[in-house]
């Protein structure tokens, strides 16, 4: 016999002379009460405050919200049913009863929870419903979209309305149903925390990875997986973290945290000691990690059978292990290294497909840590039509044993087609077999109105140009990697957006949304004003850049970009970054764009100041500078942060994967005015690297996927002004950078 929590009337609409308002009742559980509050809020908006609802013409309507554990208590199951004039919304737990309300509003009332800052709510004076009999259980047990700073601090409201069960790694509060989350120390890259160098390195350096003949502790290294002492040390630390997590859950009155992460640090500095190399040979890199973690998991299974260890198949641990399998209480989180802009079944993604299939055969708990964005400053927000391939990816996951998915999808204010992509991601987390074409058309029509068809055509053309050029978009792609469209193709894409804008020109809200959808393409067109990185001594203008297209795009950015950012809680910071980017391109359009005269008869790789990443917008600006051959430079104002920018001046080369830095320190400065060239060094490019131009690393150049096998000799053009650098100089203390150049060297 079913057992339901007792019902209590928590909300009652006031009497309305135009009709009989509905009545909303809920059980005493936090989730049911919150669901009732949501229902009251949105029914009021849907009916113009009348709260008049009919079911098959019957009125008044009674809404009941209740917990029904028999729906499947551990799977966020929900059910909506009508009987006579009663609508019953049930959930298997506090979270899923809110999901029932969300489904009711979205599926039967036309509401769209687009972002925390924007909703679509059809307006009317009465809500007329037909009989409903709907239910569901989300396919994936772990549904998380990591939004970073893009998320609104709403305690999980938006996440639960989008039927996620984790938000920002743990912030869905109890009255919103709670979280399927992680205990301390954090949810990723945690091994350094389990064996802290402050406690162990001095007495036991052998606990840490041997790299280049030296034991390296800390976040930028790894542990020595073959060391037998680490099993007990890690287990003891884990037990302390579990106790800490339990105290926290009890204090906050939340469900117990059941995931505890023990995963590799974010680098490739695995241990090269003889025993670890033997493990790698026998088990593979991921297997050597499991060699250490499996005994910890076995101990945990005896002491805390309900707790799961999560770990990463990431970087050097991506590949499937040999001769070893993970314990049942280990969750493998596999991180794709794929072309995000293509189908998971594209030839270039074959290795990842094989990894998923291989891990699924040996792993009882396989999660995916997926990527929907690119993290390199300037690359985030560049356009790629990944949404066209979401159906392939989700169904592949579903058919290969994946049980949970987390998307990294931050940077909402600038991200490409964020609203559509986020909608599809959350829908497919519930049902990976949903009809993506219908979902896309439904959302686009609701969100863009008459402009939907033209925007969809623009996305199709964008993807066609990507396929023609075989472009590969990584989660760390630079802006240059998005330059796959010809000028002709960009003009065709922009023409679609011209039609879209015209279709909604009389509706400011829809027009602003179209401008938002267009922004990535506009930024791309303006970015093309930057000259290609590889400059030949006899380089002539090419079809790479069209000034008219760039100027039109710049005009639209100036008209619409800053206004869109007003909605966000950190709008001032976002506007500062947008203004900086637009100023970069304006300087390029005004400048000469010529190769520096010192190198004008040499084949070089060339990066003007507009290509530099700026991570300190208060201290670093793009400014006009007649002393520079480009006509502009990146200016560091020393007084904005003397601790970071006072002499000596430090710059250098950074191998990102190996976490190795090659600094150059300037302690004396030329007394002659103007720019001077400084040799940074000669380096063979790794997969990813940075050149940093201050010891704070707040201004740097990211280098990735440059098809150059020869060593490159790097030079930097700098100007120093002010008494801290030049005796008797009355100018402001400042550092100017206008060019970075790399000269290919003959192979030796």
Residues 215 and 311 in one domain: yes
Helix, strand, or coil here: 331? strand
Evaluate whether residue 437 is within a structural domain.
no
The enclosing H or E element of 403 equals: strand 402-408
259 CB-near residues (< 8 Å, 6+ apart): 180, 181, 182, 183, 187, 307, 308, 310, 331
Contact of 341 with 385, CB cutoff 8 Å: yes
Which residues of 192-329 form beta strands (DSSP E)?
209-211, 214-216, 259-261, 308-313
Residues 651 and 720 in one domain: yes
Lowest mean pLDDT among 161-165, 363-367, 536-540: 536-540
Statement: residue 168 has pLDDT above 60: yes
Residues 328 and 211 in one domain: yes
Q: Residue 28 maps to which CATH number? A: 3.30.379
Q: How many angstroms separate the first and last alpha carbons of the chain?
A: 82
Evaluate whether residue 350 is within a structural domain.
no
Residues 127 and 224 in one domain: no
Evaluate whether residue 120 is within a structural domain.
yes
Statement: residue 9 has pLDDT above 70: no
Residues 316 and 234 in one domain: yes
Query: What's the confidence (pLDDT) of residue 16?
Result: 39
| Domain final residue pick, 101, 136, 171 | 136
Site of tokens 């106790």: 243
Name the DSSP class of 640. Answer: G
**Domain assignment of residue 49, given as a range:** 7-136
Query: What's the confidence (pLDDT) of residue 748?
Result: 46
Residues 131 and 193 in one domain: no
Query: What's the confidence (pLDDT) of residue 62?
Result: 97
Instruction: Note the pLDDT tens digit of each residue in 216-266.
Output: 999 999 999 999 999 999 999 999 999 999 999 998 888 899 999 999 999
Query: pLDDT-derived band of residue 74, with 50, 70 and 90 as boundaries?
Result: low
Evaluate whether residue 2 is within a structural domain.
no
Residues 111 and 193 in one domain: no
Q: State the Cα–Cα distance between residues 241 and 630, nearest whole angstrom.
A: 55
Residues 195 and 126 in one domain: no
Q: State the Cα–Cα distance between residues 556 and 497, nearest whole angstrom.
A: 12
Instruction: Note the pLDDT tens digit of each residue in 421-465.
Output: 999 999 999 999 999 999 999 999 999 999 999 999 999 999 999
Give the CB-side neighbour count of residue 277, counting CA atoms within 13 A. Answer: 5
Query: pLDDT-derived band of residue 155, with 50, 70 and 90 as boundaries?
Result: very high
Evaluate whether residue 463 is within a structural domain.
no
Q: Give the chain's largest Cα–Cα span.
A: 91
Statement: residue 375 has pLDDT above 90: no
Evaluate whether residue 213 is within a structural domain.
yes
Q: What is the mean pLDDT of residues 566-582?
A: 93
Q: State the Cα–Cα distance between residues 463 and 384, nearest whole angstrom.
A: 7
Instruction: Note the pLDDT tens digit of each residue in 693-730.
Output: 998 899 999 998 888 999 999 999 999 999 999 999 99
Evaluate whether residue 426 is within a structural domain.
no
Q: State the Cα–Cα distance between residues 275 and 277, nearest whole angstrom.
A: 5
Contact of 677 with 599, CB cutoff 8 Å: no
| Domain final residue pick, 292, 318, 335 | 335
Query: What's the confidence (pLDDT) of residue 747?
Result: 56
| Domain final residue pick, 288, 316, 335 | 335
Query: What's the confidence (pLDDT) of residue 539?
Result: 52
Instruction: Report phi then psi at 10, rounded to 5.
Output: -105, -25
Q: State the Cα–Cα distance between residues 474 and 398, nearest whole angstrom.
A: 23
Statement: residue 541 has pLDDT above 60: no
Residues 249 and 112 in one domain: no
Statement: residue 498 has pLDDT above 80: yes
Residues 126 and 197 in one domain: no
Using DSSP bridges, classify how beta strands 53-55 and 127-129 pair: parallel, antiparallel or unpaired.
parallel
The secondary structure of 661-711 as a DSSP string is EEEEEE-S--SSSS-EEEEEEEE---SEEEEESSTT--EEEEEES----S-
Tell me the whole-structure pTM to 2 decimals: 0.92
Q: What is the mean pLDDT of residues 377-388?
A: 93
Q: How many domains does the chain have?
A: 3
Residues 610 and 701 in one domain: yes
Burial category of 539 from C-beta neighbours within 10 Å (exposed 0-12, middle 13-18, buried 19 and up): middle
Residues 187 and 314 in one domain: yes
Q: What is the mean pLDDT of the chain?
A: 93
Evaluate whether residue 580 is within a structural domain.
no
Query: What's the confidence (pLDDT) of residue 538?
Result: 54
């Amino acid at each position: 016999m079913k057992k339901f929590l007792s019902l209590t009337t928590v909300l009652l609409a006031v009497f309305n002379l135009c009709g009989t308002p509905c009545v909303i009742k809920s059980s005493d559980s936090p989730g049911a009460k919150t669901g009732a509050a949501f229902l009251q809020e949105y029914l009021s908006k849907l009916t113009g405050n009348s709260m008049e609802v009919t079911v098959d013409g019957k009125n008044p309507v009674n809404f009941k919200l209740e917990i029904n554990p028999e729906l499947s208590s551990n799977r966020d199951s929900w059910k909506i049913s009508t009987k006579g004039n009663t609508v019953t919304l049930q959930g298997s737990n506090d979270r899923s009863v809110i999901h029932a309300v969300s489904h009711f509003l979205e599926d039967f009332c036309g509401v769209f929870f687009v972002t925390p800052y924007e909703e679509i709510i059809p307006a009317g004076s009465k809500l007329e419903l037909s009989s409903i009999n709907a239910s569901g259980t989300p396919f994936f047990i772990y549904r998380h979209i990591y939004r970073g700073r893009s998320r609104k601090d709403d305690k999980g409201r938006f996440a639960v309305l989008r039927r996620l069960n984790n938000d920002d790694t743990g912030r869905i509060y109890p009255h919103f149903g709670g979280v399927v989350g992680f205990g301390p120390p954090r949810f990723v890259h945690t091994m350094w925390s389990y064996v802290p160098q402050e406690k162990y390195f001095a007495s036991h350096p052998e606990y840490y990875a041997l790299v280049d003949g030296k034991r390296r502790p800390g976040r930028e290294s790894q542990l020595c997986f073959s060391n037998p002492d680490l099993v007990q040390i890690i287990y003891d630390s884990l037990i302390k973290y579990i106790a800490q997590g339990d105290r926290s859950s009890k204090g906050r009155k939340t469900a117990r945290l059941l995931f505890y992460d023990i995963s590799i640090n974010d680098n490739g500095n695995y241990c090269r000691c003889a025993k670890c190399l033997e493990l790698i040979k026998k088990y593979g890199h991921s297997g050597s990690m499991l060699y250490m973690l499996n005994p910890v998991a076995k101990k945990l299974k005896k002491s805390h059978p309900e707790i799961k260890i999560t770990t990463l198949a990431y970087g050097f641990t991506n590949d499937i292990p040999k001769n070893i399998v993970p314990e049942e209480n280990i969750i493998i989180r596999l991180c794709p290294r794929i072309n995000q802009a293509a189908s998971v079944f594209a030839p270039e993604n074959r290795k990842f497909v094989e990894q998923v299939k291989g891990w699924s055969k040996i792993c009882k708990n396989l999660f995916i840590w997926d990527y929907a964005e690119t993290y390199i400053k300037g690359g985030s927000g560049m356009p790629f039509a990944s949404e066209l391939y979401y159906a392939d990816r989700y169904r592949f996951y579903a058919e290969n044993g994946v049980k949970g998915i987390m998307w990294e999808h931050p940077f909402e204010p600038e991200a490409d087609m964020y609203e559509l992509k986020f909608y599809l991601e959350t829908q497919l987390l519930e049902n990976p077999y949903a009809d993506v074409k219908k979902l896309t058309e439904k959302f686009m029509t609701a969100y863009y109105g008459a402009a939907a068809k033209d925007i969809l055509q623009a996305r199709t053309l964008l993807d066609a140009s990507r396929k023609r050029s075989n472009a590969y978009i990584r989660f760390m792609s630079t802006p240059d990697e998005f330059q796959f469209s010809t000028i002709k193709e960009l003009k065709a894409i922009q023409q679609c957006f011209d039609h879209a804008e015209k279709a909604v020109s009389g509706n400011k809200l829809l027009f602003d949304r179209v401008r938002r959808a267009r922004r990535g393409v506009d930024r791309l067109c303006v970015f093309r004003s930057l000259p290609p990185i590889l400059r030949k001594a006899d380089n002539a203008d090419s079809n790479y850049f069209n000034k008219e297209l760039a100027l039109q795009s710049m005009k639209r950015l100036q008209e619409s970009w800053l206004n869109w950012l007003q909605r966000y809680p950190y709008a001032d910071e976002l506007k500062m970054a947008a203004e900086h980017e637009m100023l970069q391109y304006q300087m390029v359009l005004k400048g000469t764009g010529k190769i520096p005269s010192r190198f004008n008869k040499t084949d070089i790789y060339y990066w003007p100041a507009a290509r530099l990443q700026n991570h300190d917008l208060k201290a670093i600006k793009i400014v006009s500078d007649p002393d520079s051959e480009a006509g502009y430079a990146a200016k560091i104002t020393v007084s904005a942060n003397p601790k970071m920018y006072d002499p000596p001046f430090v710059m250098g080369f950074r191998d990102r994967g190996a976490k190795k830095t090659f600094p150059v320190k300037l302690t004396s400065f030329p007394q002659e005015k103007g720019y001077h060239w400084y040799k940074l060094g000669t380096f063979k490019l790794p997969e990813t690297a940075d050149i940093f131009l201050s010891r704070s690393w707040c201004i740097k150049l990211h280098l990735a996927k440059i098809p150059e096998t020869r060593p490159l000799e790097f030079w930097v053009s700098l100007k120093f002004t002010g008494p801290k650098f030049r005796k008797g100089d009355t100018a402001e203390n400042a550092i100017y950078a206008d060019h970075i150049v790399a000269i290919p060297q003959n192979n030796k």
